[in-house]
Structure 1
């Protein structure tokens, strides 16, 4: 596969994750604009994110069918077109002050559309990169999808921080919040144009040439790839809980519990995203050297031991402790994302790969990713303990450890 096609595929996850994570980085702002403000409104905003996230598995199955049946390139063009439209519509939404509670429902509807399109995005890019990479560099190349997506998170956090810091609350709530979403819509449209020049995956071309393209990818995956789906679920569950609780929930946590202002919390998230970008390719390269399984086991052990202490440290107050905790959690989440990208894709053969990833990976992400920030928020409110987000990560890591211990090594050679 040409380097240009590989680069377009990898870099396009920048836009995907910018558009999707921007909602969380602006959660406190959106809670005022669409739900009236206050602690209850923040909870409602996070609940909307969690509810919309449940659309990801449905989108992954729908787009996975298209990718397995009609080609990876066609699928990625369609998903990005839907994402562009949803992002632009969000930027143009009327607010609660303009149309009342209906504004919040419209925001939720558009988040559902966004989640549906993102459901097919990441797994499609991961499969495309895996199928175009040399076997001995699959870990490094596939990890670029995770790294580039974190560049999108970095960009989202930076744009959100600049927007929040550049204007007063009144101006921000009136019209300033629209700027980051308009930028996202423009970036998504540019990626769609770049994707239109991409090659088709050589794996899909092989299937087409041999006549092995599955007529019903969903039925085939359920019949032949159940073990791969279970292992993909376990790996993705660990990646989701460490990323969405350990990274993207942290700004809201620091704002509400750690005594850190909105703008500073967003700047800390920007730094965390940069750490993930730097760590991800290193971990991907490590998996090519020593294998996927030992790296996963090491990170799973760290996820069981560290997060509770880190969240307690961040809540104790002080900017230095907030910075240290945020960066360590970012290293952990970035490492799991890097190895998870290649390890999940290698659980399946080329035939039905996208559908298998949809059933395993995105279903775990919906449960342990989309729901997790809201559950963490509610547990802190219920117990009064800032340790709860870290304990959530530890419980998931310990529960998944037996599955990862029994997993076969998938590194070629």
Structure 2
């Protein structure tokens, strides 16, 4: 008998064990990627010698390499929308393994001179390219593999797990710094955290090979119509703009409010590396616990309402919290870091479901690459460098808080005008958002066919 295409249940979901693999796999992505910023002050000496602009050049390397992230997002978006989400998860992790292992093997300034900076940039570009498909791929995989009633909670677990990766990065960085002398660190000790990251990437790659394709993507293959880049922009341009703004807010709060914080405390507030990394560990722990709670609340009260409350908090809190983080009173500094971590972690958790829900299955990864990945490049990759530059030129330490508050002010009207993407029944919650954004009845009917 000829093979028959069986229509998969759109909301059947996959097994909890396989969902768990998809969730924990984000640990490696954020371990490898955030490790660079946590060690930026040390890496500046390793790859730029004793240059007085070493920290700024290290952050510039991070910012320039981040420009490869939207390119990676478009490439992986095309692959994921045409051949499936599973190939994206495998390919992006394979590249991440190569980049992390390559980072551990790089020559230093003392070995090859100024060319060390070139090799550092090349490896970071490869890493950024792979991350372009990694996080959006995982978010989409979880969204399309979980049930509608708890998609906020499930996708928020990916945000929490990614922070476990950041926690590991901060913890291993802190232990490495405390265990070795300054000369040992700059000679060979800085390689240890990256070697550990390479091992973790290899393990996750092996686990991901057992993941099936998402039920919603398999269902979308019943409609053979392909989504080109032009068609995605024409049919879902409102959602692309809204996604850019929401992603910008989440990225600014996370990258400036948490990831950049150790560099800020060391270079601006003159904290020791061990103390700053210790606070980074605390921030990561707070995010791990805050993220699932925020995801659960978004399932109960809606993505839009939850995002509006968090955006309002992002207007009010960052400036006083950065002012408090620079105080000599350790108790006040710890409280400020906890508040920033709760805010950034909650925004990332709700955004993990709200952002991909803006689009229907067809063309989802491509649309995320246009809106979400570009915003993350600007407000995540470039923002730490821009903030550091402004602080050094103005001698005003509150610049990070002002940036977050400004982005939040812009985001509030966009969130208010957007649709609520939480479904009241067992159907894909992103369908309503797409139907609200499109004026073409044929496109709307195509979306209904997927539901």
Q: Is the 8 A contact 1:69 1:217 kept in 2?
A: no
- Counterparts of 1:40 and 1:91, CA distance in 2: 23
1:89-168 aligned at under 5 Å gives the runs 89-168=102-181
Moved over 6 A (4+): none
Q: 1:259 aligns with which of 267, 270, 277?
A: 270
Is 1:42 the counterpart of 2:63? The answer is: no
Match of 2:199 in 1: 186
Q: Secondary structure at the match of 2:354?
A: helix
- Counterparts of 1:408 and 1:71, CA distance in 2: 27
- Counterparts of 1:5 and 1:376, CA distance in 2: 40
1:15-94 aligned at under 5 Å gives the runs 15-94=28-107
What's the CA shift string for 1:35-74, capped at 9, x where partnerless?
1135410000001111111111110110111111001111
Q: 1:280 aligns with which of 291, 302, 307?
A: 291
Match of 2:412 in 1: 401
- Counterparts of 1:261 and 1:200, CA distance in 2: 47
Q: Is the 8 A contact 1:69 1:213 kept in 2?
A: no
What's the CA shift string for 1:231-286, capped at 9, x where partnerless?
11111000000001100111011112323210110011011001000000000000
Number of residues of Structure 1 aligned to a counterpart in Structure 2: 411
393 and 39 in structure 1: CA distance in 2 versus 1, 3 angstrom threshold: farther
Q: 2:256 aligns with which of 239, 245, 260?
A: 245
Q: Is the 8 A contact 1:18 1:152 kept in 2?
A: yes
Q: Which has the higher helix share?
A: 1
248 and 39 in structure 1: CA distance in 2 versus 1, 3 angstrom threshold: farther
Q: 1:7 aligns with which of 1, 17, 20?
A: 20
Is 1:343 the counterpart of 2:354? The answer is: yes
- Counterparts of 1:159 and 1:57, CA distance in 2: 29
Moved more, 384-393 or 26-35: 384-393
- Counterparts of 1:108 and 1:285, CA distance in 2: 39
Is 1:212 the counterpart of 2:224? The answer is: yes
Q: Is the 8 A contact 1:33 1:96 kept in 2?
A: yes
Q: 2:318 aligns with which of 286, 307, 310?
A: 307
- Counterparts of 1:149 and 1:87, CA distance in 2: 16
Runs (5+) with no aligned partner, structure 1: none
Q: Is the 8 A contact 1:68 1:217 kept in 2?
A: no
Q: Secondary structure at the match of 1:371?
A: helix
- Name the TM-score, length of structure 2 as normaliser: 0.90
Structure having the higher Rg: 2
- Counterparts of 1:38 and 1:405, CA distance in 2: 47
